[in-house]
Amino acid sequence: MIVALLGLHVVVGAATLAFSRRLGRLGLVLGAVPMVAVVAWLLSAAGGVLDGRPVVGTLEWVPSLGLSLDVRVDAFTFLMLLIVSGTGTLVVAYAWSYFGRGPEAGRVAGLLTMFAGAMVGVVVADNLLFLYVCWELTSITSYLLIGIDDQKAEARAAATHALVVTAMGGLVMLAGLILLGQQAGTYSLSGLLSSPPSGTVTSVALVLILVGAFTKSAQYPFHSWLPGAMVAPTPISAYLHSAAMVKAGVYLVARLAPAFADTGMWRPLVVSVGLTTMIAGGLRAFRPFDLKQILAFGTISQLGFMMVLLGIGRPETTAAGCALLLAHALFKAALFMVVGVVDHQIHSRDIRELPQLGSGWTSIKVAAVVGAASMAAVPPLAGFISKEMAYGSLVDGTGGDRLVLVGIVVGSILTAAYSIRVAVALVGPAAVRTEEPAPLVAPSPAVAFVAPPVLLTAATVVLGTVPLVWSGLIDSASGALNQWSPTHGPHVHLALWHGVGPALVLSIVTLAMGSTVFALRRPFARWQAALAPRTTGAEVYDGVVARVLSGAGRITAVVQSGSLPVYVAVILATAAAAPTVALVTGGWWSGWPDAYGRIGQLPVAALMVVAAVAATLATRRFVAAVLLGTVGYGMAIFFVIQGAPDLALTQFSVETLSVVVFLLVLRKLPDRFEKPAPAMGQPLRIVVSLAAGAFVVVMALAASGARTAAPVSQEMVEQAYPKGYGHNIVNVILVDIRGIDTLGEITVLATAAIGIAALARSSAKPRRSGVEHHRREVGG
Amino acid sequence: MRRSLIFDSTVRLVFDLAMVLSAYMLFAGHNQPGGGFVGGLVAGAAIALRFLMGDLRDVIGVVRFKPWTPLAVGLALAAGTSIWTVATGSEPLDHGAREFDVWGIGAVKVTTATVFDAGVYCIVVGLVLMILEAFADEIEPADDGEPGEVRR
């Protein structure tokens, strides 16, 4: 069933893309079908899955690689699917109004559906390689979605940035997944978790996997792609870059943590990276004036928070992390949608320019305030409950837990402060603006446009005030994760009121300190401007990319000098040197072969020697070509004498053709050889030529005496007719016994033919092919 | 370019003979000296001679195909044979044979190997045509047709 749902995403996505122009925004309706189907399936399967009976399914794909579409939906996957497909449906509904009759609606719809399918694949996959494939598919669809406005250089650059970082992390992760799979002897995720391997290789594998998760979830120091990705239209930001895709890294960490948290570097690495991200992202959220940028850094910060909670791998923190996953998806998607509505109606997201929102904007203002309050963990909202759980899970722990707790509290204080900044910007711009607000002339948004964020806000309020609604879901989800933990966790009881305890005190302190930071924002901003590092993550990325490109350019300049004599010299020297090493290190000399086989060979050999020596002394190119041809024909006569008509025939034909091609080339070249170019002097040329020649002689002598095993040709002779239906053994070898080789060789021939034509054309007609343009592309 | 009467006449005579010879080599090659590769080389050499005679446009004009068409046909034949052998349940390029009784000629044995060899033949001929096409500018002054267009 789940495999069928995955297929539905692919089919609907592809169909929507194929007819995107004709469908327009009707494509959004079509694209929502698979997401609604997943939600419907979730509701029908909820009973069993939440009671701890996972739904499994499988479809063979590449059995020889151990690659099968194993799917497994347990309660944690259920939670993720609810986020992915639930918010997905609302985002598509929101996009209906956002894009209006714009031309990109159809394409966005198809890509969003494709993305949703890949994301569903990531969370349902029970096979590491299947998971990896879906993981990279989310990166690719994200790339296409960020760059949806492909006329803008900024959008293309941001899309490439995101793809380079996440795909690089994905490749590192693939190495880790393969190491882990080989170590465990299985690529099944549940099999891996039920008997986790250990040891150095496993530790290394886990670090590699974590790198992949960190890049995907925009953790420091890989975070810089996420703020850039905000050039995408807001529905895409709301879905991919807050609710769904960036949670893939968190998902993987959450899956693996209960079984592997104690292995190697896992816990210190995850906790330190997560806390750094949480605090640094929170600090960075004060600097920009673009609302989407503020929310982007806020998302980075919250992802760090989730990373810490779910990466520790203890039942209590895991439960808090599950609650935060859902709470964050609700309030962050709602906030993004609110910002999108404002941007769409007023054409600005700059908090210094926003006007006072008047009548008709009440629902948007409420959604903004509730969303920001949930982000700041104000009771009685979903964000508050999850943060209470996080504090509660760490407050009774060891010294290390306390340290983590301090970090989380600092991060939460910053979160509260920038949440207030967002809320004030949207509701009371007077507090943050620098100029008088312009009178609001923009129309208030339509009901359909406002409905999705309002629905999400309502969910935030309901989950906050009636914790019983999601208590069972979070309990089952964390139970599904902790199943693999050495210590099974206690049941989770979400509650609005835990009584007066250290967690509540910390919550109050967080809110109070957050308000203080916001009140002191001007000195805080000055202090931050003075202390913050001068270079941003995006600049670091740009620097790295520029260095890599210039380094590659320098290496290319050295390796590809463009001088034909140098290329030939390198090839010949390598061909002479490498086998010589093998010759000298092995027992190679088994005596002189016979001087000659048949008497007729001697005059032919003499002719060939004379022609070869004369070719080196020739001063005219034409003469040299003819002399080389003579050597080749001599070789063909050798084959005739030896009784190999097939080889002789081939040799004759090849020589004839070579001479003809030589003649063609010679028309373009001067009649006589010039003095050697300074790139390689005459002495060096002679040395390389002599080395290559000497090597060929020695190799031939050594090889002719070195036969020890029975020749394989005997069997070929016997098999030629019964198996190959031919008496000509050479031909049977070519087309049957070594047929695959021949297929490869003729493919190379065809490629070479195209290359020859392209080369000759590009240099022959500078006006038509644009040599200048070509050079720029190659050199730049 | 100076033309030589002897050269031109010889090429005219040799060209047709060589093409027939190459076709014979292709089909006889499985049991006697020859085969697709040699056959293609012979045909290629004949075409190249014709080209030197300055007459290539006639050759290509008569058959009316682009130089890369034989490349594509050859690759399709060779790859198709490989896929066919796999699809019929044997190893890739493990060829099968079948005998037909053709009226007037007698028993004719057809093997998939011949089809594969025909692919090799086409690719070698295509390679030669592509090389000649690349140097064709030298024979005639370049006109302003599309790049890669064979002038007829």
Classify A439 in phi/psi space as left (phi over 0), alpha (psi -120 to 50) or beta.
beta
Q: Which chain B residues are Cβ-neighbours of A759 within 8 angstroms? A: 134
Ordered DSSP codes for A384-439? HHHHHHHHHHHHTS-HHHHHHHHHHHHHHHHHHHHHHHHHHHHH-GGGT-SSPPPP
Average pLDDT score over residue span A605-621: 90
- Could you report how far apart the first and last alpha carbons of chain B are, in Å? 20
Q: Give the model confidence (pLDDT) of A137-175 as tens digits.
A: 999 999 999 988 888 888 898 999 999 999 999 999 999
Q: Give the model confidence (pLDDT) of A252-293 as tens digits.
A: 999 998 888 888 888 899 999 999 999 999 888 888 888 899
pLDDT at B36: 85
| CA angle centred on A344, ends A341 and A347, rounded to 5° | 125
Q: Give the model confidence (pLDDT) of A454-480 as tens digits.
A: 999 999 888 888 888 888 888 888 888
C-alpha distances in Å from residue A524, one per residue of A222, A298, A300, A516, A520: 26, 17, 21, 10, 6
> Crossing angle, helix A739-764 and helix B68-87, to 10 degrees?
160
Confidence band, pLDDT 50/70/90 cuts, at residue A780? very low
Nearest-angstrom CA–CA distance, A543 and A564: 35
Q: What is the mean pLDDT of chain A?
A: 84
Nearest-CB residue to B78 (from A746, A760, A761):
A746
Average pLDDT score over residue span A658-675: 79
| CA angle centred on A96, ends A444 and A102, rounded to 5° | 90
Nearest-angstrom CA–CA distance, A240 and B147: 45
State pTM to two decimals. 0.73
DSSP assigned state of A590: -
Q: Which of A431, A429, A459, A292 is nearest to A361 (CA)?
A: A429
The answer on pLDDT for A777 being more than 80 is no
List the 19-78 stretch of B: residues with Cβ below 8 A of A.
25, 29-38, 41-42, 44-45, 48-49, 51-52, 67-68, 71, 74-75, 78
Nearest-angstrom CA–CA distance, B57 and B74: 22
Phi and psi torsions of A744, nearest 5°: -65, -45
CB-CB contact of A331 with A460 (8 Å): yes
Give the position of tokens 């080395």. A691
The identity of residue A428, as a single letter, is: G
Residue to mutate among B15, B51, B52, B95, with most A CBs inside 10 A, is B95
Q: Please give the residue of chain B at the shortest CA–CA distance from A660.
A: B48
CA distance A770 to chain B (A): 12
CA distance A665 to chain B (A): 8
Q: Identify the residue with better confidence: A636 or A501.
A: A636
Q: Please give the residue of chain B at the shortest CA–CA distance from A756.
A: B131
Give me A530's structure tokens.
Answer: 């003075």
Give me A544's structure tokens.
Answer: 């790295």
pLDDT at A531: 78
Nearest-angstrom CA–CA distance, A147 and A162: 10
Nearest-angstrom CA–CA distance, A734 and A777: 41
Nearest-CB residue to B116 (from A728, A739, A759):
A739
Nearest-angstrom CA–CA distance, A554 and A527: 42
Q: Give the model confidence (pLDDT) of A705-758 as tens digits.
A: 766 667 777 777 777 777 767 777 777 887 777 888 888 998 999 998 888 888
Nearest-CB residue to A660 (from B31, B37, B45):
B45
Q: Give the model confidence (pLDDT) of A520-538 as tens digits.
A: 888 888 887 787 777 777 8
DSSP assigned state of A127: B
Q: Which chain A residues are Cβ-neighbours of B119 within 8 angstroms? A: 746
pLDDT at A491: 66
Q: Which helix (H) or strand (E) holds A550?
A: helix A537-559
CA distance B135 to chain A (A): 7
The answer on pLDDT for A628 being more than 60 is yes
Q: Are strands B97-102 and A55-57 parallel, antiparallel or unpaired?
A: unpaired
The answer on pLDDT for B109 being more than 90 is no
The answer on pLDDT for B146 being more than 70 is no
Contact partners, residue A399, CB within 8 Å, separation at least 6: none
Exposure string over A737-754, b if 16+ CB within 10 A, otherwise e: bebeebbeebeebbeebe
Give me A375's structure tokens.
Answer: 């982000």
pLDDT at A176: 94
3-state SS of A261-325 is CCCCCHHHHHHHHHHHHHHHHHHHCCCCCEHHHHHHHHHHHHHHHHHHHHHHCCHHHHHHHHHHH
CA distance B91 to chain A (A): 10
Q: Give the model confidence (pLDDT) of A76-128 as tens digits.
A: 999 999 999 999 999 999 988 888 877 788 888 899 999 999 999 999 998 89
Q: How many helices (H) and strands (E) does chain A have?
A: 34, 4
Average pLDDT score over residue span A408-428: 88
Nearest-angstrom CA–CA distance, B129 and B36: 16
pLDDT at A585: 78
The answer on pLDDT for B145 being more than 60 is no
Residue to mutate among B30, B109, B144, with most A CBs inside 10 A, is B30
Q: Identify the residue with better confidence: A88 or B55.
A: A88
C-alpha distances in Å from residue A432, one per residue of A288, A348, A362, A425, A447: 13, 15, 20, 6, 28
CB-CB contact of A400 with A490 (8 Å): no
What is the distance, to the nearest Å, from the Cα of residue A310 to the centroid of all Cα atoms in its chain?
23
Give the position of tokens 């979730």. A42
Is A746–B74 a contact, with Cβ atoms under 8 angstroms apart? Answer: yes
Q: Identify the residue with better confidence: A274 or A698.
A: A274
CA distance B71 to chain A (A): 6
Give me A227's structure tokens.
Answer: 């703020």
Q: Are strands A71-73 and A55-57 parallel, antiparallel or unpaired?
A: antiparallel
CB-CB contact of A453 with A94 (8 Å): yes
DSSP assigned state of A83: I
Ordered DSSP codes for A620-653? BHHHHHHHHHHHHHHHHHHHHHHT-HHHHHHHHH
CA distance B97 to chain A (A): 7
Contact partners, residue B53, CB within 8 Å, separation at least 6: B7, B8, B11, B12
Q: In this structure, what is the dihedral angle of CA atoms A211, A214, A218, A220, given to the nearest 10 degrees?
A: -80
Confidence band, pLDDT 50/70/90 cuts, at residue A497? low
Least confident of A67-81, A333-347, A668-682: A668-682
C-alpha distances in Å from residue A515, one per residue of A214, A290, A293: 31, 21, 21
Give me A588's structure tokens.
Answer: 């190679």
C-alpha distances in Å from residue A506, one per residue of A297, A402, A406, A503, A695: 24, 12, 10, 5, 80
Q: Which chain B residues are Cβ-neighbours of A774 within 8 angstroms? A: none
Q: Which chain A residues are Cβ-neighbours of B116 within 8 angstroms? A: 735, 739, 742
Q: What percent of chain A has a predicted confidence (pLDDT) above 90?
A: 22
Q: Which chain B residues are Cβ-neighbours of A736 within 8 angstroms? A: 93-95, 113
How many interchain CB pairs under 8 A, A with B? 163
Q: Which chain B residues are Cβ-neighbours of A650 within 8 angstroms? A: 37-38, 41
The answer on pLDDT for B81 being more than 80 is yes
pLDDT at B56: 66
Give me B117's structure tokens.
Answer: 């060899």
pLDDT at A737: 79
Give me B137's structure tokens.
Answer: 């500018």
Contact partners, residue B90, CB within 8 Å, separation at least 6: B96
Phi and psi torsions of B58, nearest 5°: -60, -45
Q: B1: helix, coil or strand?
A: coil
Nearest-angstrom CA–CA distance, A498 and B132: 87
Q: Give the model confidence (pLDDT) of A200-221 as tens digits.
A: 888 999 999 999 999 999 888 8
Q: Give the model confidence (pLDDT) of B56-78 as tens digits.
A: 666 666 667 778 888 999 999 98
pLDDT at A273: 93
Give me A346's structure tokens.
Answer: 């007023």
Nearest-angstrom CA–CA distance, A113 and A130: 19
Is B130–A753 a contact, with Cβ atoms under 8 angstroms apart? Answer: yes
Least confident of A190-194, A481-485, B25-29: A481-485
Query: Is the peptide bond prior to A380 cis by the omega test (within 30 degrees of 0)?
Result: yes
Q: How many helices (H) and strands (E) does chain B have?
A: 5, 2
Least confident of A27-31, A345-349, A610-614, A720-724: A720-724
CB neighbours of residue A428 within 10 Å? 13
CB half-sphere exposure, B71, CA atoms < 13 A: 20
Q: Which of B127, B107, B110, B147 is nearest to A660 (CA)?
A: B127
